[in-house]
Structures are given as structure tokens and as C-alpha cells.
């Protein structure tokens, strides 16, 4: 199965952004017991601390998708590499299936090495499915559970795809939560945009007094700063735009965006360890 990649870039064409869903992160420097992760250090060899990752995403055409789950490994605790110890990965929701995973290891700062666990998920229902823990199967037969933040996924069957389309510049990668995108009216009537949120309703922005989008015209939607009800270290999410045509409301699942993932690796490590 061919994996998609979420590129950190400004997308210029509708045909390009329509399939850009996943960001595959490359580091700056290449180089059956279950327990909860309330502690900062879990595995003795290696010791790992997961970031507060937030994934709130609508999967396109029911296709599987890969997401970044960041952590740090305390390399002073032993010589074993995390990638050498892991045999399998699942989450605490049977309706979110793990199809594949890989472990990317990055730079080391103050004996903490940055880890990016890239996990490919498929959602088996059309409901909103949630998970808060990742279950790691070790090659010695142990299974450990860790809090990783929140993963909220849904297939896209309930959303409108044809009335609005990305057009021109569409920024997908931001250092902090904000939005600056261009969308075009692909319908045969005026479109009025109302609000934007994610499927978990962790943020909401009301577009007050916005002029309608004329047929075949584009509009620049800008949110200088997004306030989340619950804050996390790193975000990967689908903005959901509520709009109306002739008084009838619809929801458009826009191309995904990422927050914090473009930060330098040193900043990622500092953010994870300080929480």
C-alpha cells in the first residue's frame, strides 16, 4: 500500500493539496503486562517519555494515513535503541487499526534523544474514534501502554467535498496555531462561511461579518492565532469549515495542517521534557 506524505510547504495548486494529508518527518540529524504512563520514565532500557500529541483528523476516502507521534528517549539509561526493541504498535481503540509503523531517531540534547514514531492508521467505522494511549509490544514479549495525548479520527463520508476547493497559496505547516489559506467557490451559488473547528471541538473560530464568496472567486481565510481549549505539544488536524448555500448549512473538511512539527529538533526536545 502506498503511503501518503504530509509535506511542510505552501501548496499552490488545487490538484496538489487535494491529496496532501500526511507529513513524514525527517530529523535534522540522521544518525503481556500493561501499565499506565503516569510516570515520567517508563522503560528501563530504553527510558521514554511521550509528548502530548494531538491528532484530530478526517481521513480522505477512507484511506489509511500515517501520523507523527513524538517522544524523547533518555539514552543515559542504557545502550538499547528504541527502534531495536519494538515489535508492534496499537492504540486503545479496536476501531483504529494500525497498519504499519516506523521509528525515526533524531538528535540528542542533554542525554535526551528525539524520537518520531510514524504510525499508519485506518478507521474501521464512520464514527468519530478516539484513543489516548499507545500500546507497544516489545521483542521480549512485554506489552506496555503509554499516554500519548489524543488521537481523534473519522472517515470523510459525512462531509461536503465539492462546493469549496483550495486555490492558490494554502499553508499547511505553522510553528504555532494559526491559519492562512485560500479557498475558492466551486458551487453555482454564493457561499457564506460561518465558522471553523476540528472534529473534537477543541477550538472554534467564528467568521463574523465575512462577505460571501462569489461563484468562481477565491477568498483568503486568516486566523492570526488559534486558541485551543486543551493545549498540546504538537498538532495535526483537519480544519472543518461550516458554510451555507441558499440557507442550507454544510461542512467542508479542509486539507490538514500541522502546528509545532516544523520547530527545530532542540525545541521539540525542550517542549517534551519541560511538560
Strand partners, 173: 258
Strand partners, 164: 185
For residues 105 and 81, the answer to whether their CB atoms sit within 8 Å is yes
Q: pTM, whole model, 2 decimals?
A: 0.83
Distance of alpha carbon 198 from alpha carbon 241, whole angstroms: 9
Model pLDDT, residue 43: 41
CA angle 25, 84, 50 (to 5 degrees): 50
For residues 148 and 126, the answer to whether their CB atoms sit within 8 Å is no
Residue whose C-alpha cell reads 475558492 in the numeric block: 184
Distance of alpha carbon 147 from alpha carbon 168, whole angstroms: 39
Residue 265: count other Cβ atoms within 10 Å of its Cβ.
18
CA angle 67, 196, 3 (to 5 degrees): 20
Model pLDDT, residue 210: 78
Q: Say how many residues make up the chain.
A: 275
Model pLDDT, residue 204: 97
- Write out the CATH class of domain 10-156: mainly beta
For residues 180 and 163, the answer to whether their CB atoms sit within 8 Å is no
Distance of alpha carbon 94 from alpha carbon 29, whole angstroms: 35
**194-239 pLDDT, tens per residue?**
999 999 999 999 998 778 999 999 999 999 999 999 999 999 999 9
- Write out the CATH class of domain 164-259: mainly beta
Model pLDDT, residue 208: 85
For residues 63 and 157, the answer to whether their CB atoms sit within 8 Å is no
* CA quadruple 22, 194, 153, 233: dihedral sign: positive
Distance of alpha carbon 129 from alpha carbon 155, whole angstroms: 9
Residue 125 C-alpha cell reads as 467505522
pLDDT in tens, the chain (275 residues): 434 434 333 333 333 333 333 344 444 443 333 333 333 333 444 588 999 999 999 998 888 999 999 999 988 866 667 778 899 999 999 999 999 999 999 999 999 999 999 999 999 999 999 999 999 998 888 899 999 999 999 999 989 989 999 998 899 999 999 999 999 999 999 999 999 999 999 999 999 877 899 999 999 999 999 999 999 999 999 999 999 999 999 999 999 999 999 999 999 999 999 97
Distance of alpha carbon 135 from alpha carbon 114, whole angstroms: 19
Q: Are strands 96-109 and 53-59 parallel, antiparallel or unpaired?
A: unpaired
Residue whose C-alpha cell reads 472554534 in the numeric block: 204
Distance of alpha carbon 257 from alpha carbon 239, whole angstroms: 8
Q: Where in the chain is the domain with CATH 2.60.40?
A: 164-259
14, containing H or E segment: helix 14-17
Distance of alpha carbon 107 from alpha carbon 73, whole angstroms: 11
Model pLDDT, residue 155: 95
Report the SS3 class of residue 264.
coil
Q: Where in the chain is the domain with CATH 2.60.120?
A: 10-156
Amino acid at each position: 500500500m502506498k503511503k501518503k506524505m504530509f509535506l511542510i510547504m505552501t501548496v499552490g495548486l488545487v490538484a496538489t493539496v487535494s491529496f496532501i494529508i500526511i507529513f513524514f518527518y525527517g530529523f535534522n540529524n540522521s544518525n503481556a503486562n500493561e501499565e499506565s504512563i503516569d510516570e515520567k520514565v517508563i522503560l528501563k532500557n530504553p527510558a521514554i517519555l511521550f509528548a502530548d500529541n494531538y491528532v484530530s483528523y478526517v481521513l480522505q476516502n477512507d484511506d489509511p494515513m500515517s501520523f507523527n507521534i513524538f517522544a524523547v528517549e533518555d539514552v543515559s539509561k542504557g545502550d538499547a535503541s528504541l527502534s531495536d526493541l519494538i515489535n508492534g504498535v496499537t492504540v486503545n481503540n479496536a476501531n483504529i487499526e494500525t497498519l504499519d509503523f516506523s521509528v525515526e531517531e533524531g538528535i540528542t540534547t542533554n542525554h535526551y534523544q528525539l524520537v518520531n514514531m510514524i504510525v499508519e492508521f485506518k478507521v474501521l467505522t464512520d464514527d468519530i474514534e478516539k484513543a489516548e494511549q499507545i500500546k507497544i509490544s516489545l521483542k521480549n514479549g512485554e506489552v506496555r501502554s503509554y499516554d500519548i495525548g489524543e488521537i481523534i479520527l473519522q472517515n470523510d463520508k459525512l462531509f461536503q467535498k465539492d462546493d469549496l476547493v483550495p486555490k492558490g497559496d494554502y499553508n499547511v505547516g505553522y510553528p504555532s496555531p494559526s491559519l492562512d489559506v485560500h479557498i475558492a467557490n466551486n458551487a453555482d451559488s454564493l457561499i457564506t462561511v460561518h465558522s471553523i473547528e476540528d472534529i473534537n471541538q477543541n477550538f472554534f473560530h467564528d467568521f463574523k461579518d465575512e462577505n460571501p464568496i462569489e461563484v468562481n472567486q477565491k477568498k483568503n481565510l486568516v486566523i492570526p492565532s488559534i486558541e485551543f481549549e486543551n493545549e498540546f505539544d504538537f498538532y495535526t488536524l483537519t480544519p472543518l469549515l461550516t458554510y451555507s448555500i441558499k440557507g442550507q448549512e454544510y461542512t467542508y473538511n479542509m486539507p490538514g495542517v500541522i502546528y509545532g512539527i516544523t520547530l527545530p529538533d532542540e525545541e521539540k526536545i525542550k517542549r517534551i521534557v519541560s511538560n
